Amino acid sequence: MAKKIVTMGELLLRLTTPGHSRFTQARSFDAIYGGAEANVAVFLANMGMDSYFLTRLPENEIGQSAVNFLRSYGVKTDYIVRGGERLGIYFLEKGTSTRPSKVVYDRKHSSICDINAEKINFDEVFKDADWFHLSGITPALGEKCITLVEKATDYAKKKGIRISVDLNYRNKLWDYPDFEKVMVNIIKDVDVCFGWINSEEDKEYSVADFAKQGVELDNFKNIFSNMQKRFNIKYVVTTLRENYSATHNAMSALIYDGNELYQSKKYDFTIEDRVGAGDAFAAGLVYKLVNGANSRDALEFATASAVLKHTVEGDFNLCSEDEIMAVAGGNTSGSVQR
């Protein structure tokens, strides 16, 4: 039977300019709905999991369109609560070559910011759940969201549900000290932490979504080992990315299992849409771990998932397990599949 996985976070409307056109050139925006945790939920549904997404959306047609978008990919939306002022928005302009992609956020005052955690029926949400995934973005959205995250993780930990947290520190959303203060409680005793907290250490290794390639693996081993001990985390994980240009990157990933630091294969690729690559990585790892894979196989799958995400327009990795396994297995030749 398919595993039940609960993912929680904000769902946003993404408005992207056509092709690589700049904001001032756009006479239309492509519209999709996504967000760090929703991207994970879609991937898991796509892998056949019983994937539930928990958020709060306004009671209007824009909120309903967001629900429909997730449902289309098989995500279960039963736990979504409705109400509040608006759906958060982000505007995206996709860069190319020497010009970076650009995001303009318009996500303040969104419905989830006012969520009342008391009204969530966590008994029902976590009933028979196998895994709970969340990210460090949600508590950055304000007091009510911190309460939500704390209540949810407390509940899940008590019930013995496995948990993964993607730190996803965004300096535009909150300051590092606030971030650290909140997150240290959340990541305690979880199964997987994507990224690390390292304020005491050298700045180069402070928390980051994606570390740069070429850094010393020994340093990582040291930091991850400290994380692991300090917070009792089973796996500390990160991707390593090299940015050659807005449309040409390389990527590998690291996993530390409390014992060894393992580095995945490294891939070189061009980019159609890089938003959500980190989420595709997290989702790939969770999918494999919840289904019993060992950490190395899970990492290779997760890395291939992240790499393939770059080829798919939108926030989601819509590739199949077979497609990801093929890339993880070394076939990146791109021969036509007839």
| Of the candidate residues 2, 22, 48, 181, the single one contacting a second copy (CB under 8 A) | 22
CA–CA gap between residue 103 and residue 17 (Å, rounded):
11
Measured from the CB atom, is 165 or 306 closer to a second copy?
Answer: 306
CA–CA gap between residue 37 and residue 43 (Å, rounded):
10
Q: What angle do CA 240, 9, 95 make, to 5 degrees?
A: 50
- Considering only residues 240-279, where is the footprint of a second copy by CB under 8 A? 243-248, 267, 269-272, 274-275
Residue 56's SS3 state is strand
* Residue 205 binds to a second copy (criterion: CB under 8 A): no
* Residue 213 binds to a second copy (criterion: CB under 8 A): no
Residue 61's SS3 state is helix
* Residue 33 binds to a second copy (criterion: CB under 8 A): no
Measured from the CB atom, is 24 or 259 closer to a second copy?
Answer: 24
* Residue 24 binds to a second copy (criterion: CB under 8 A): yes
CA–CA gap between residue 214 and residue 16 (Å, rounded):
32
CA–CA gap between residue 66 and residue 69 (Å, rounded):
5
* Residue 181 binds to a second copy (criterion: CB under 8 A): no
The piece of 67-75, 121-129, 149-157, 294-302 that touches a second copy (CB under 8 A) is 67-75
Which residue, 30, 103, 98, is CA-closest to 247? 98
Residue 39's SS3 state is helix
| Of the candidate residues 2, 19, 128, 329, the single one contacting a second copy (CB under 8 A) | 19
* Residue 14 binds to a second copy (criterion: CB under 8 A): no
The contact mask relative to a second copy for 139-178 (x = CB under 8 A, - = no) is -------------------------------x-x------
Length of the chain: 338
